[in-house]
Structure 1
Amino acid sequence: MKKISRLILAAVIAACGVVVATAGPAYATVPGYVLSSSTASLPPSLSALATGKRIQYVTTNINGGVITATGLVLTPRTNKKNRVVAWGHGTTGLADTCAPSTNQAVFWEEARIAVAELLERGWTVAAPDYPGLGTVQQHPYLVGASAGRSIIDNVRAARNLDSALSTQYVVDGHSQGGTGSLFASQLAPSYDGNLVLKGAVAIAPLSNAQEIIPYIAGTPVQGYLVMALFGVAAVEPSFKPANVLAAPAEAQLGVLQTGCLYEIMAAYENFTAEQLVEGGTVPAAVITKMASYENPLQTAPSSPILLVHGTDDEAVPYFLSEMLAGQIQAYGVSLTFETIEGATHDTAVIQSADLVANWIAARFT
């Protein structure tokens, strides 16, 4: 009977993405519980270094409700050291087809290089897709508390697959994942249970969003703004992006479901500010709302932090991390701030891969 109940519960979760915590066996609603596991197809540069499992696991939304997420657990083929590093990927899109665990085209080159370095050090890598990428919920894009939970719970899931893994872990992420990494450090004391967070790496994370949102409309990167509006709507259904977007922008919304990052950016890159948002300006109340969901470290981080940013970042301006560094230091938390001269949003990941891995190794020792 218990086996049948478990199967029914798993089917409900898979179909609906949400389950009431009191239904079925209690262990199947515990964050990190692995609902399914299958052999993952990995990019060649990673399959040479690791075996992979694609998993569906239990996590929670920002209100504590039980939901499901998907992701990868990558186990080194050699030199395994029984420590876990979570990798938070950068922006891929909003649609299910944009989940890196099933779509190698959005397992970006810089992510492959960063993850390969972690695997070569002997660490198991937990790589979440984030809620709504690969599951039926809407993706809460740039809602850091959502990404942070799924990052931590992917680590829990990795340990549920391999009981030899230590409770010690480090979170590491780029762009959207860098912000998620910082949120994970903020959430860990009250959320990660018996896990022990040793450090958090944030490469080119979004922070202080209120400083740049007013200036995005009318620029080549304004597709990010469109996605971010729908990220807010995913966690706050009463928020309507249509009330902010202008008619020409609304006419292109189909790309959010049919394409991933590059297609979305191409669809909006040539719009004027007035074609993107009503009146050409994002309302102040909307900016405040977006920042409340997107800005990391509104409470103190719980671990040492490595902050990495390239000076030529075209997506997340370098000055935001200069501001963020001061905010971290104000908490009295150990901070290492590495500036990568001349690096762009993506090349900062590549150029810092060894530096990041060395910093993580020091946290584990």
Structure 2
Amino acid sequence: MELPDELVSAGATGYRIRYLSTSAKGGPTEVTGVVLLPPGTAPPGGWPVVSWAHGTTGISDRCTPSRDTELGGYGYAGYLAGLVRRGFVVAATDYEGLGTPGAHPYLIAESQGRSVVDAVRAAGDLDRRVSGVWLAVGHSQGGHAAMAAGEIASHYGRGLDFRGTVALAPITDNRPYVDRLARLKPIDHGYFMAILAGLATWQPKLRYADYLGSRALKEFPRVHTTCIEELTNRLVKLNLPGAEFAPNSTGAAERLRKWLGANAVPRMRSRAPLFVAQGLADYLVPAEQTKLAVRKAKALGTDAKMVGYPNVGHYEITEASAPDVLRWIEARVR
């Protein structure tokens, strides 16, 4: 595939791939993505793999990173170029339902985790110079996906050699927002719509009318036809009242809390270590919420650590933490 300038400068060779994974419902499903190979000769045993999990682009097929010349935006192309320069193969999943038939199970932990694991297998199938040694690295939605992948690696990833997870400003647990939905700002309305659409792929009992007012319901189909930036701009312009995004009953709120909780991470112990990088000026993923997730991971028995970056926001965390992340993942593959 044609690559952006940052990856060309890094000497990467890129391939669009289509591979087999397991859906949110447990059946076989096709997933697309990108594999980036480093230049030069592979080391003995092959190149190690970073399975990259991207942040929220949207749930429409228009938002598929492998179809985007910038691989999803947010400076990801340059970030992945840094990994390629260090001799890592990058296997970058699009996730189930992005660029393939069916809806995207946005923030459904099992689906996203499986897509991340199976991208590593696909990279090995593509080129035999790729080793089975791998790490999961992801940002925002991808931090959620990477953590989910790390937790299932010991059983779903059998045959591969998993070394650790890096989560950059991960979305971990959306339950705290249930009681604040009526006060959501317009900039958050599109994300809530995407969350509902993702839950509906996994939980058929979800009724959109339980969580969206008539004006919000009228806008909801746009979640399947636009990307997150366009959708957000539309909803900011409309400035719908928060009441349009509030559960219509206590029972509806409790069901939503239960469904979100079932997909919160961490859910179980990861046998490999976890490194979490969090901007302390992040307005989308609050640092306190990330700290709670890291404490829970430790309580579950995962070797977890978090590094906070002062004055760093949600979209700056990839670049700000890159030197620390590169040192950490290189130490895992030595």
Instruction: Give deviations 1:321-350, integer Å, cap 9, x for gaps.
Output: 110111111123222211011111110111
> Residue 361 of structure 1 aligns with which residue?
330
Q: 2:233 aligns with which of 261, 266, 271?
A: 266
Query: Are 2:7 and 1:46 equivalent residues in the alignment?
Result: yes
The aligned counterpart of 2:123 is 158
Instruction: Confirm or deny: 8 A CA contact 1:198 1:304 kept in the other structure.
Output: yes
Quick check: 216-225 or 104-113, which moved more?
Answer: 104-113
For structure 1, the 5+ residue unaligned runs are: 1-39
The list of structure 1 runs, each at least 4 consecutive aligned residues, that deviate by more than 3 angstroms after superposition, is 78-81, 277-282
Report the Cα offset of residue 46 of structure 1: 1.4
Does 2:277 align with 1:308? yes
Pair 1:80–1:247, CA change in 2 (3 A): farther
Structure 1 residue 142 and structure 2 residue 107: aligned? Answer: yes
- Tell me which of 306, 315, 319 is aligned to 1:346: 315
Give me the identity figure in percent. 32
The verdict on how the C-alpha distance between 1:79 and 1:311 changes in structure 2, with shifts beyond 3 A counting, is farther
The CA distance in 2 between the partners of 1:338 and 1:113, in whole Å, is 22
Cα distance, 1:62 vs structure 2: 3.0
CA contact (8 A) 1:169 1:197 kept: yes
1:30-81 Cα distance to aligned partner (Å, 9 max, x none): xxxxxxxxxx222221133211100111000134210110000000124655
Deviates most, 218-227 or 92-101: 218-227
- Structure 1 range deviating more: 58-67 or 145-154: 58-67
**1:73 matched to 2:35:** yes
Tell me which amino acid in the other structure corresponds to 1:347. Answer: E
In structure 2, the residue corresponding to 1:185 is in which secondary structure? helix
Deviation at 1:222, TM superposition (A): 2.3
Shift of 1:165: 1.6
Please tell me whether the aligned partners of residues 190 and 231 of structure 2 are also in contact (alpha carbons under 8 angstroms). Answer: yes
Task: Measure the CA separation in 2 of the matches of 1:79 and 1:254.
Answer: 49
Match of 1:108 in 2: 73
TM-score by length of 1: 0.85
| Residues 70 and 77, structure 2, Cα contact 8 Å, conserved in 1 | no
Aligned 8 A contact 2:38 2:88 in 1: yes
How far off its partner does 1:116 sit? 1.5
**Matched AA of 1:76:** P
Task: Please give the TM-score of this superposition, normalised by the length of structure 2.
Answer: 0.92
**Counterparts of 2:107 and 2:222, CA distance in 1:** 18
Q: CA deviation at 1:278?
A: 5.1
2:191 is aligned, of 224, 232, 241, to 224
Structure 1 residue 105 displacement after superposition: 5.3
Alignment-derived partner of residue 199 in structure 1: 164
* Separation in 1, partners of 2:229, 2:284: 13
- Tell me the alpha carbon deviations over residues 239-287 of structure 1, each in whole angstroms, 9 at most, x when there is no partner: 2223321111111123213210101212223221112335599712212
Q: Give the SS at the match of 1:108.
A: coil
Which amino acid is 2:4 matched to? P
Aligned residues between the structures: 325
| Paired residues for 1:1-365 under 5 Å | 40-49=1-10, 50-78=12-40, 80-81=42-43, 82-104=47-69, 107-217=72-182, 218-219=184-185, 220-269=187-236, 270-277=239-246, 279=248, 283-293=253-263, 295-365=264-334
Task: Return the letter of the residue paired with 1:41.
Answer: E
SS at match of 1:118: helix
Which segments of 5 or more consecutive residues in structure 2 lack a partner in the other structure? none
- Asked if structure 2 preserves the Cα contact closer than 8 Å seen for 1:246 and 1:275, the reply is yes
Displacement of 1:189 in angstroms is: 1.2
